[in-house]
Amino acid sequence: MAPLQGVHVTTAILWRGTVLFALLDAALLSLLARRVTEPGFRALRGTILALTAVFWFCLWLVLASIVYWDRVYAYVFPAWLRWLLPVGQAALTTGVAAVAFALATRLPGRAVVGYCLLGGVWGSLAHVWAVAMGIVQKPPMLRGASALAAVVIAFFEFTFYFGVIVGGAALARGGRARGA
């Protein structure tokens, strides 16, 4: 992929991305908290889980298996996993989303916000594992980037993804997430 020639992700880029995702999260979570009622959020469970599966399958298919395979993921995953990763990551993250949904609807506070923040926690845990696998040491594109920055950005990145999925689910249900 010629457009990626010479691209190097630095610690500074990760920290700037963290700030950008944090700002996006603040706006998105504020919007979701105002627009998605508690009963409406509960009614979105099936749609959220279905969209989660589609979103993560597409994300891993395009970014991991196609665009960044040679530059990043081939350094940490065996070649035979290349086309299985999208299915596995979609299944895994949908399972995590189901657990996050169950927890968020039982914890105090706005369930929709708790759900998205639990998605962020999952992101950081997943990136701790990725760092342990060598994601910031092995691929030249990431070599030398801070492991801490890679884990912190993941919290805000995944919070954003979980929020986008909730927003998409509410839109797919025709905005009915507001009703009781």
Whether 116 is in a domain gets the answer: yes
Whether 14 is in a domain gets the answer: no
Q: Count how many domains the chain has.
A: 1
pLDDT at 7: 84
For residue 10, the 8-state DSSP code is -
pLDDT at 152: 98
Whether 172 is in a domain gets the answer: yes
Whether 10 is in a domain gets the answer: no
For the cut 50, the answer to whether the pLDDT of residue 2 exceeds it is no
CA 27 to chain centre: 17
Both tokens assigned to 170: 């509410």
Place of tokens 């989660």: 52
Whether 72 is in a domain gets the answer: yes
CA 6 to chain centre: 26
- One-letter amino acid of 7: V
Residue 152: which of 134, 114, 126 has the closest Cα?
126
Whether 86 is in a domain gets the answer: yes
Residue 165: which of 84, 109, 96, 67 has the closest Cα?
96
Place of tokens 């919070």: 159
Whether 6 is in a domain gets the answer: no
pLDDT tens digits, residue range 54-95? 999 999 999 999 999 999 999 999 999 999 999 999 999 999
Whether 3 is in a domain gets the answer: no
For the cut 50, the answer to whether the pLDDT of residue 179 exceeds it is no
Domain ranges, residue 147: 31-178
pTM above 0.75, yes or no: yes
pLDDT at 4: 59
List CB contacts of 42: < 8 A, sequence separation 6 or more: 105, 111
